[in-house]
Structure 1
Amino acid sequence: MAAEPAVLHAVLALSSAHKRDIAGVGSLEVTEITIPNKHEQFTLRHYNQAISDLQPHFSAKDPASLRVALITCVLFVCLECLGGNYKAAKAHLQNGLKILRETTQSRLSTKGNSVWVLESSTDATYNHITDTFARLHMQAELWGQATQHLCLVPRAAGSLQIPITFESIYQARQYLHRLLSEIFYLTDLCCGEGKSNAGYAPRQRNIQEKLASWLRAYKASSISLQVHVTENSVAYKLLHAYYYMANIMANTFLQPQYETRFDSHISDFVSIITISIELWKVALLAGALEKGTSREAEMSSFVADMGWIAPLYFTAIKCRNHRVRLHAIRLLSSTSHKEGIWDTKVATYIAREVMRIEEKDFYKDLVVEDDFPLSEIPAEEHMSMPLLPESYRAQEVQVVLPDQPRGNIVLICRQKRDNSIVEYVYEREYIISHTWIDKI
C-alpha cells in the first residue's frame, strides 16, 4: 500500500512535518509569519502531490482505491493536527468518515439518525482502518469538536455483551469506546430536552451495568493484558483512567443543569490523578534513562493515539476541588506533546483560564498550598476544602480551535446568574500574547 503514489507522497509530507517538529522549526512559539523555507516547501510539495494522486481513487470506488483514499486521509489528519491546522484536520476527518459511511458496513441507530454505528468485519486491514478513524473521532468528540456521534461496534457484539475477559487491550478499548459513544449520545439528548430526563433513567442503568461488566472483565484480564511489557502496562493504565472518566459521565448526564452533580465523584477524579501520577513516573523514568542520549531529541511530540490528555482535561474542567483540578492541570503542563487533535499546551491554557474564571477570589481567605510535589496523591485533608457554589461554575465550556497555528482560540463559558445563563467569551492571541481578551 505504501507503494501507492498518494500514500507515498502523504507519508513523505508527514515525515517531513515530523522532522520539522523534532527540530523545533516553525513551532507554536514562533511569533512571526515567515515565507516557507525549503523544508516547508518539501512538505507542501508532497502534500499537494498526494492530493493530486488521490483524485483517481475517488472516481474508481473499488475496494483497493477506497483503502488508498482512507489511509491517505488518516495521514492528512495527522499532518494537519501536527501543524496546528485544526480546521483542515477536521475537514479531512469528516471526509474520511463520509467515505466510510457511504461504502462500508454501517447503520444508523436511535432516533434522529444521530448515532452512526460502524460495524467490524472479517477483514483485518479494514478493521485497522476503521479503528484508527474511531480513535481520531473519539479524540475530537472528547474535545467537543465532533459533528456527529460514531460508534465502532466490536465484531459479534451487536448487543454489546461484555465478555468475561478481554482477549487484548485492543478489544477492551473497543468496548469502552462503544460505551463512551453511547454516553455522549445520551448526554446530548438530555441537554437538548431540558430538566425532565427521568425517561432516560433505564438507559442510564443499562450503561452503568455495562461499565461495571467492563471493569470486571478488565480486572479479570489484568495479568494477560499487561504481560510485563511497559507499553502494554501503560495502555492498560490509560484504559483504567478512561473508565473512571466514562463512569463519571454515565452517572451525571441525567442532570445537565446542575454542575454540582460532579461533586459526589471526587473519588473517581482522584483515581484519574492517581493513575496519571503512575504514568508520569513511567515517563519520568524513561526520560532519566535516556538522558545523555540522542533518542529523546529524535522523537516527535505528536502521536495519533489516545493518551492521558482527555481524562486530565476532563478532571480539570469538571472537578471543583481546587487541589485535585490543579493537580490535573500541573500534570498536563508537565509534558509538551499532541495526541491527535489534542495539544497539552492548548488544554493547559484552557483549563487554567476556566479555573480562574470559576474560582475568582473564592479561596482568598484560605491557606492554599499550590506547589505540592506532582508525585503526591491528593490526601483526605485535601478533600475537606470547600467546593465552589453552583453560581461560580461554568455550565458549559466550549472551545473554538484556531484555523492556523498562530490563530486565536475562542473560549466560551456559560455561567448561571439569577436563573439565567450569562455567556462570557474570552479570546486569546494563541501563544503570541499569552493573554485572554474579554470579548463581552
Structure 2
Amino acid sequence: MLDSLTSMFGRLDYEATMFDKTAPILQLRPSEGSDEIPCRFSSVAHARQYLDQLAADVFRFRAELLQRASSVSSSSLDVSEDRDWVRDYVTQNIASRRIVHCEEETVLLAELYRLQNNLTLWLFAFRSFTAFSSSLQETSICRVLQLLEIQHFYIFFIAQTYSDRTETACDRFMPLFKHIIGLAGSFVDCDTRSTSSGDDGTNVTTFTLESGISPSLFLIGLKCRDSNLRCHALRLLSENSCQEGMWEGALLAKFMKEVIDIEESYVIENETPKAEEIPEHARLSDVAVTGCDDMPGWGRVVGGVHVNPLGIVLHERAFVI
C-alpha cells in the first residue's frame, strides 16, 4: 500500500511539471533502494516504479535547463514578437534546448547521458519481462503494458532530443512514431469497446488522475512531420474517451490541428507532405496552447522556431474551438 501511494503521489507530482516550469518536489526511489535498472522487472508494479523515478529525474533535469535559460536576458534574445507570459513560456522552453548547450557543461552532460542510458535499459528490462512472463495474456494486463510503453516513449523522446540542434533530427524517430501510434491505436480501440454508452448512445467520457496516451500522441503530432502519421495521431487523440488529468484529448486535437496547419502551410504543392518536405525554418520547436482571455470560446496557439544562435521567431494563431 505504501509503494502504491508513493507511486501515485509521485506521478501527480511530476505530471504537474508538464504544465509548469518548476521541478518535481518528491525524490522517488525504488523501495529496494537501488537506482540501477534491473535486467528484468519482476512485475508490472516494479516496472512502473522505475519509470516513475526516471520521469521525475527527466523533469528535474528539464527544470535545471529552464533555470539556466531564464538567466539569458531578454536583451540578448532576438525574439520576433511582443512578449507576454505565453510567448515567454515558449521562448524559455526553446532556449533551454537550443541555447543552453549541455555539451558545454560536464555535469549536465553526464546527467543527460545517465538518463538516456537508464531509459534505454528500462526498455530492455521491460522487453525481457514481457517476453518471459507467461501470465501476461489477459486483456487487462496487455492494456497496462501498452500504456507503460507509451508512457515510456514520452519521457524517452524528451531525454533523447535535449542535445539536438535541429528539428529535422526528429525524423530519425519515424519508426518509433509508427510503433507508438500502433500501440495507441490498439489501446484506444480496446478502450472504445469496453466503454459503456450513455442513454443517448454516445460514449461516456471517463477520467483518470494521471496522464496516459495523450501526452505521447500530442508529442507525435508536434514532432512527427509525416502528414499521414501525425494525422493518425491527431485522430487517436480526438477519439480517446478518457480525460487524463489535464489532458483532454478532443480539445488538444483541435489545438494540434492548428499547429499542423501552421507547419504544413509551407508545403503548398503537396496536401500530404512527407517529413523531408517540411523545411527546418517551418518546424516549430515548441508550442503553448491556451484560451483567449478576451475572447471566450477561442483558442490560442503560440509556436516558436529557433533560427540562429540567439534568434527565435514566434508564430501565433487564434481560432474558434
Query: What TM-score do you get using the length of structure 1 for normalisation?
Result: 0.57
Asked if residue 322 in structure 1 is aligned to residue 213 in structure 2, the reply is no
Deviation at 1:209, TM superposition (A): 2.2
Secondary structure class of the residue paired with 1:154: coil
What stretches of structure 2 of length at least 5 have no aligned partner? 70-95
Give the 3-state SS of the residue equivalent to 2:177 in structure 1. Answer: helix
- Which of 170, 178, 194 is the equivalent residue of 1:262? 170
Contact 1:244 1:271 in 2 (8 A): no
Asked if 2 retains the 8 angstrom alpha-carbon contact of 1:187 and 1:254, the reply is no
Alignment partner of 1:426: what SS?
Answer: strand
Which of 287, 309, 312 is the matching residue for 2:217?
312
Q: Which has the larger radius of gyration?
A: 1
CA RMSD of aligned residues (A): 3.1
Matched, 1:242 2:151: yes
Taking the aligned partners of 2:203 and 2:193, their CA distance within structure 1 comes to 18
* Deviation, structure 1 residue 413: 1.2
Give distance in 1, aligned partners of 2:214 and 2:48: 16
Matched position secondary structure for 1:149:
coil
Shift of 1:234: 0.6
Going from structure 1 to structure 2, the CA distance change for 1:132 and 1:217 (only over 3 Å counts) comes to same
CA distance in 2, matches of 1:331, 1:137: 26
Structure 1: runs of 5+ lacking an equivalent? 1-123, 369-381, 435-440
Higher relative contact order (CA 8 A, sep 6+): 2
1:169 to 23, 40, 44: 44
With over 3 angstroms needed to count, the CA separation of the structure-2 counterparts of 1:408 and 1:134, relative to structure 1, is farther
**Cα distance change on mapping 1:408 and 1:365 into 2, 3 Å:** closer
Q: Distance in 1 between matches of 2:202 and 2:56?
A: 37
**Alpha-carbon distance, 1:218 to partner:** 0.8
Change (3 A) 1:195 1:305: closer
136, 143, 156: which one aligns with 2:32: 156
Aligned partners of 2:185, 2:157: CA distance in 1, in Å? 19
SS at match of 1:152: coil
- 1:215 deviation in Å? 1.4
SS in 2 for 1:366: coil
* Residues 245 and 268 in structure 1, CA contact (< 8 A), matched pair in contact too: no
Which of 251, 265, 268 is 1:346 aligned to?
Answer: 251
Aligned residues: 283
User: Judging changes above 3 Å, is the alpha-carbon distance between structure 1 residues 305 and 393 closer, same or farther for their aligned structure 2 residues?
Assistant: same
CA contact (8 A) 1:263 1:320 kept: yes
TM-score by length of 2: 0.76
1:17-416 equivalences in 2 (<5 Å) = 124-125=1-2, 127-142=3-18, 144-145=19-20, 147-150=22-25, 151-157=27-33, 159-190=34-65, 192=69, 194-198=99-103, 199=106, 200-222=108-130, 224=133, 227-255=136-164, 257-286=165-194, 299-362=204-267, 364-366=268-270, 368=272, 386-400=276-290, 409-416=299-306
For the residues of structure 2 that align with 1:367 and 1:300, how far apart are their CA atoms?
33
2:155 partner letter: A
Q: In structure 1, what is the Cα distance between the partners aligned to 2:163 and 2:60?
A: 12
Cα distance in 2 for partners of 1:277, 1:128 equals 28
Partner of residue 97, structure 1: none
Shift of 1:302: 1.7
Native 8 Å contact 1:241 1:271 kept in 2? no
- Whether the 8 Å CA contact 2:177–2:224 is kept in 1: the answer is yes
